[in-house]
Structure 1
């Protein structure tokens, strides 16, 4: 396959440059080196390979940052607002009263890990993970830390159960299985039914392995670093700004308000960005009310101060992520907006082209089909969306199932699970930022922690799928 295959997918020098820098970025991550410069050089090299223009390649660096910030801005904002709200709740003492009932239940790191995980999974099934992270992190993070679970362990639990198990199955909202089923030409119910054993095998293996590694490191007293920032809600000391009666009232009303949000999401069918916006807006109102009651005459100025510190925290967390996100956005919809229309006319985007090319150079057997669909899911998940490549996974599953004579639903579900676990996500750093930022941990460290458990889970799930085809 020198440059194209029989299906007309042409792999150009642009594609191979992209692959080269993917390996470079992954290698730097594994060796715990910063990837910012590698990502920026990669953007420049890909743009130069496409346009052969030095000025356009230089301009693409700035344009890629603008594109990445635009795509990430909703997440940056909601994280910043949640952090600002959490800070005033902690300083005023409301948070301590609010979490006291949970403290009586969650008394050990083990209980904290599994309780937070299952609550996260349940809420994420109905509203997707991003708003669930905001709801759960604000309330249960201090409880878990008090029980002895490191903030990194809380982030792993929320991320693996929410962006992993719940999102990859998507049994309630059914956005993911609808996309893959349509691409594969089969009913969505068949994909959901086929995905159930695979989702739970993947989820069980990954969360158990992650838990074992976490407990091992805790017993060995290994450090679990958190981000050094004065705006972390966990680093603020409680002050006597409110009376005990006021604290109790606010501690009662705030969870009630968030439960009302949950009911509104359900009744109005708010999902994804709409659900996140509702949580963000509610958090702004809570921030203003608590700050004005706590600081009284200085409430106006203090509200602005808390927001500023929240934004400082948000951009400090996202700062290292924007360059690498900008690079990986080139693999999908971002290429044309950042670099221009330089890919072949039949191209479906760099990442999807690579996935299609991979599928056309392997023999068609159930075993190879399962391995290929997992690989295609992983490759297409590298753009950090998880959803952008699952239609391709469905199409390839249909081709393989036709050649094999069976297994369309299983192969479709397998590709869906691999793409969302990687890109939706538990391995791509900006996909897991909500959990990392709420918990005040480095998203790259969280990605490294997830790598081995998710890798083992994908291997086991692929083997199980071979027997189900």
Structure 2
């Protein structure tokens, strides 16, 4: 027999359904999450003041869990700003532009390069770093700006962000909600990310070439004018210094990756290594570029990065707080456990296993749908904890497959909401490439849906 469910369990389920409903109607979920924490706290502790306090404590707990990820992304964005301002990004990408000789090479060089840089810098800063250099090179050889936008978008906001193997922001959120180590989610996501990436990019390229052949899409003179105008950049470092830093930055980051492998660093330790390295690079470049003003500029760049970090993760904190209380966060926030409980989500999974048949097909399909729904707000991160929580629920019923289910939910959430088919999430790529965000979303729609279908089928066999 499973654990007997209490009113607290059912209220938790009701609020999960409310959160999904709000996401479907593209409404913000912060109010629902905070009310959920308050009501669950009131029922669990029977104290109004403790329930009120639990709202704040829940947010504190979520911030504590996420702070390392928020900080490292903020520092990375700060470094990307100083690289753009000093022209280091131009020097870093210049050798690759010489390889771009036709539209096909332009697509398959721009995309993978965007993916690699996005692993280290995250996609939005990476687009700013690469777009001003690669876009003019791509359009000169006949790849329309829309084609370059598709390549950068699918490889960056799709493949790189859904795996997030270096910074580990996405897998940390889902792993925490699922109650498993980050390394398990990343390992399980590798085959799924590969399948999703291959299906979407090959399909998108095929459709792009078809439209170019039929004359529906072509390079025009305004592409050259706009991209050349965007490429103008104040150079406050000598060319020699730009080249030196363009070599040193990837070398140090590759050494970090080697260190992670050799020293078996994962999760917070890996994030700390990347964050510390980038902090030193930021300081050295700022001092070299701005000379006497360097001390003040370091702080200025850090502030810009932190503003970006908290803007991105601001909506994530309340919903993460709600889903954390479904597992280990319950005791930390409310100061006690439910009687005979293994955690709200564990209890629900146990009950599900005893009341209805759950198989790998149903579980995989549900995680894809839940992940896609959480991405409808255009963030990809704000509801990603829900995917981990639901994966925990179904894995409890199945008795296995939690890592694969968690990875499937993460991939669906990031591909939909992280910036490939939700127009308002496509603004960075659309702005850099001077294309319409809604048109870019429309062109990504078929490849991404096809990719999700194929990847879900693969997940069914891996669960």
TM-score category by the smaller chain? 0.5 to 0.7
Number of paired residues? 404
Instruction: Find the aligned partners of 1:79 and 1:468 in 2 and give their Cα distance.
Output: 31
Change (3 A) 1:458 1:39: same
Gaps of 5+ in 1: 1-5, 171-175, 183-187, 221-234, 399-411
Contact 1:202/1:461 (8 A) holds in 2 = yes
What does 1:389-428 align with in structure 2 at a 5 Å threshold? 396-397=397-398, 412-413=400-401, 415-423=402-410, 426-427=412-413
What does 1:128-277 align with in structure 2 at a 5 Å threshold? 140=130, 148=145, 154=152, 157-158=155-156, 160-162=158-160, 164=162, 201=195, 204-205=198-199, 238-277=233-272
Q: CA deviation at 1:76?
A: 0.9
Are positions 1:69 and 2:63 aligned together? yes
Partner of 2:16: 22
After TM superposition, the structure 1 stretch with the greater mean CA deviation from structure 2, 375-384 or 70-79, is 375-384
Are positions 1:290 and 2:285 aligned together? yes
Change (3 A) 1:208 1:338: farther
RMSD: 5.2
Contact 1:29/1:35 (8 A) holds in 2 = yes
Q: CA deviation at 1:267?
A: 2.9
Query: Which secondary structure does the structure 1 equivalent of 2:355 belong to?
Result: coil
Change (3 A) 1:64 1:432: farther
Q: CA deviation at 1:207?
A: 6.0
TM-score, structure 2 as length reference? 0.67
Query: Which secondary structure does the structure 2 equivalent of 1:161 belong to?
Result: helix
Query: Which secondary structure does the structure 2 equivalent of 1:23 belong to?
Result: helix
Gaps of 5+ in 2: 139-144, 169-173, 211-215, 218-229, 375-382, 430-436
Summarize deviations over 1:105-126 as a string: whole Å, max 9, x none. Answer: 46899877766776788899xx
Summarize deviations over 1:357-389 as a string: whole Å, max 9, x none. Answer: 22322347xxx4532466489889977297788
Contact 2:159/2:197 (8 A) holds in 1 = yes
Q: CA deviation at 1:341?
A: 2.1
Change (3 A) 1:428 1:253: closer
Change (3 A) 1:466 1:376: closer
Summarize deviations over 1:376-422 as a string: whole Å, max 9, x none. Answer: 89889977297788788667545xxxxxxxxxxxxx45x53221232
Partner of 2:81: 87
Contact 1:120/1:161 (8 A) holds in 2 = no
Change (3 A) 1:314 1:209: same
